[in-house]
């Protein structure tokens, strides 16, 4: 996995909110998707009871920061495009389904995958937990091939150092 400090790209300044009531990850910014596709239209019911029709989903690449300052690239899968919402939301139940553990203590929510912290969200004055994560914008100046190349080189090194774990296993741990 390539540390984010080695990747020069444009990213959004405000991180997504953790949402314990959401059944899916969602974002209102199409540029947050690294790839997207049409889905059968369905309703997304918001916390206030309002509904909006969703017909696009995709994957989003995110640079996450841990409480120790380590940066980790993460791919959120099956994120819904919800243009009528404000911001982006990470579904805590969806993280749980993917094997992540979330904890909250003293105003900090942490996400762990396979025993390793992969992100955190301090509680804001509005009582929302905003993750210290930034979306890698679709219109970013970084060359996607360059990012994949850097990630591949790092995965090869990890493969050699971690008792020859398959690249597929390493990649699977980074998708939430």
Contacts of 76 by beta carbon, 8 Å cutoff, 6+ apart:
25, 59, 60, 62, 90, 176
Output the pTM of the full model: 0.72
Q: Average pLDDT, whole number, for the chain?
A: 79
Measure the CA–CA gap between 62 and 72, rounded to whole angstroms. Answer: 8
Q: How does pLDDT run across 80-137, given as a tens digit for each residue?
A: 999 998 889 999 999 999 999 999 999 999 999 999 999 999 999 989 999 999 998 8
Confidence at residue 47, expressed as pLDDT on a 0 to 100 scale: 79
Confidence at residue 3, expressed as pLDDT on a 0 to 100 scale: 34
């Amino acid at each position: 996995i390539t540390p984010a400090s080695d990747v020069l790209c444009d990213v959004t300044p405000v991180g997504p909110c953790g949402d314990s009531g959401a059944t899916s990850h969602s974002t209102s910014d199409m540029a947050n998707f690294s790839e997207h596709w049409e889905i059968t239209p369905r309703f997304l019911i918001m916390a206030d009871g309002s509904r909006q029709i969703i017909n696009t989903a995709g994957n989003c690449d995110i640079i996450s920061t841990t409480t120790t300052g380590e940066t980790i690239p993460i791919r959120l899968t099956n994120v819904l495009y919800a243009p009528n919402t404000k911001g982006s939301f990470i579904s805590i139940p969806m993280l749980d389904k993917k094997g992540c553990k979330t904890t909250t203590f003293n105003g900090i929510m942490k996400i762990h995958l396979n025993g390793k912290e992969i992100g955190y969200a301090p509680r804001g004055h509005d009582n929302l937990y905003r993750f210290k994560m930034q979306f890698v914008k679709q219109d970013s100046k970084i060359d996607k091939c360059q990012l994949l190349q850097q990630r591949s080189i790092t995965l090869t090194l990890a493969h050699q150092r971690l008792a020859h774990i398959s690249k597929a296993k390493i990649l699977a741990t980074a998708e939430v």
